[in-house]
Amino acid sequence: MSQSDKARAFTALHVKGDPLILYNIWDAGSAKAVADGGARALATGSWSVAAAHGFGDGQKIPLDLLTTVAERIASAVDLPLSVDFEGAYSNDPQGAAENVGRVLDAGAIGINFEDQMVGGDGLHAIRDQSARIAAIRQAAENKGVPLFINARTDLFLKEGDRSLHAGLLAEAKDRASAYTDAGASGFFAPGLIDEALIEDLCAATALPVNIMAMTAAPDAKRLGACGVARISHGPGPYRAAMARLQEAAAAIYG
């Protein structure tokens, strides 16, 4: 299957009410394991990839190494691959687009692209983030790949008081609308777990909505009933795998 065919197949897996479930990976070995477990597509988690290579999250893993990891995964497993690309390693639209081009060259067909200021405070203004999305879309079109741009908003993840999330929903809808116009393929709202708010968000945007599986979040069936089209597991799989590895080692060395 060609890269473009993989991109189109990946897009088709996003169905409101019947969510694509992504059990996030961090290297070629974990990719093979998840693929053998029955996955229809693969997605890295930035936290997990960084941790697996001895780095912290927040674009601390070097871009060259990240693209090498993506290339190894894409070469090892013949499934559509989306890369958690954080802020694309650049605040500048053209710089972000050029960096995404490197991920495409590595074989990826999708990215997560977030609107928080990586390494700084707050979120990029809607206009600025939309310009970055538009530049990435143009770069992908220039390469002939219908890249799945999963536009992530960190509105909810940055607000730890979930009682305030309802007050953030209007801005989330505004961002979803603007990101749609800029060329986004999906809308990712990690940290949002309230069913009524999730349902409201899904109804307000034509984009497939991505929710992260996390403690206290609704299960997959309930998220599907809310209209969710994609469920990510973030760093959970890596943490679970490392915990099992530590337990096995402790049993030997203890």
Of 32, 85, 22, residue with least CA distance to 237: 22
Domain boundaries, the chain: 3-253
- With pLDDT > 90 as the criterion, what percentage of the chain qualifies? 98
- The answer to whether 197 touches 165, Cβ cutoff 8 Å, is yes
- The answer to whether 135 touches 94, Cβ cutoff 8 Å, is yes
What pLDDT, on a 0 to 100 scale, did the predictor assign at position 254? 83
Mean pLDDT for the stretch of residues 180-207: 98
Kindly tell me if the per-residue pLDDT of 126 is higher than 90: yes
The b/e string for 5-37 (b: 16+ C-beta within 10 A; e otherwise) is ebbbebbebbebeebbbbbbbbbbebbeebbee
Instruction: Encode pLDDT of 209-232 as tens digits.
Output: 999 999 899 999 999 999 999 999
The DSSP element (H or E) to which 21 belongs, if any, is strand 20-22
Query: What residue type is 200 in one-letter code?
Result: D
Instruction: Encode pLDDT of 149-176 as tens digits.
Output: 999 999 999 999 999 999 999 999 999 9
Q: Which CATH number fits domain 3-253: 3.20.20.60, 3.40.640.10, 3.40.50.1820, 2.70.180.20?
A: 3.20.20.60
Q: Are strands 110-114 and 81-84 parallel, antiparallel or unpaired?
A: parallel
What pLDDT, on a 0 to 100 scale, did the predictor assign at position 1? 86
Global pTM reads: 0.97
Average pLDDT, the chain: 97
Please tell me the distance from the alpha carbon of residue 205 to that of residue 121, in angstroms, as a whole number: 27
Edge-to-edge strand ranges of the sheet holding 42-43:
20-22, 230-232, 209-212, 186-188, 148-152, 110-114, 81-84, 42-43
